[in-house]
Amino acid sequence: MFDLVWVAFFKDNPLPLFQYHCSLEDGKSAVEVPFSQVLEKQDELTHFALLNRRNGTWYQVDLQKGTMSIAQGMDNAQFLEPRSDMLRKEGIKYRLIYFREVTRSFDSHLQEVGPHGINYFIGFQYKDLEGHNHKRLMCVNAEGQIVIN
């Protein structure tokens, strides 16, 4: 299981879709939900988040307002609401960006050295009213360090 797991929130559904859920057989085994289930319902997606399972930090993309937020709290995270002058004009459709990047180090004999690292990318892309494409990305590592473009 990854250190950061995704959580998807959809319109008209009070329960989020988690990347992992417990198996019904033993109640302990984690079963991974395919990300394709999120992509199939992209038009209904309102928020997408990464949850750091180790420290309870949430990294969220709001696909209705076009904002990114960070909050603490495993079960009761409270996200800061943006001021109205931070938002773009209405009528803009935000599309989710999400992927993982695995980094590995090798010596001169092409033997892997040290553990591999995973960077998680979360964000959105949109076209402005003039038709220009824009994207905003947040890169997060397992230690909680971030960079936002």
Looking at the DSSP assignment, which residues form a beta bridge with residue 5? Answer: 51
Residue ranges of the domains in the chain? Answer: 4-148
The string of pLDDT tens digits covering residues 16-62 is 999 998 755 665 678 899 999 999 999 999 999 999 988 999 999 99
Quickly count: other Cβ atoms within 10 Å of residue 92's Cβ. 16
Percent of the chain having pLDDT more than 90? Answer: 60
* Per-residue pLDDT at 101: 94
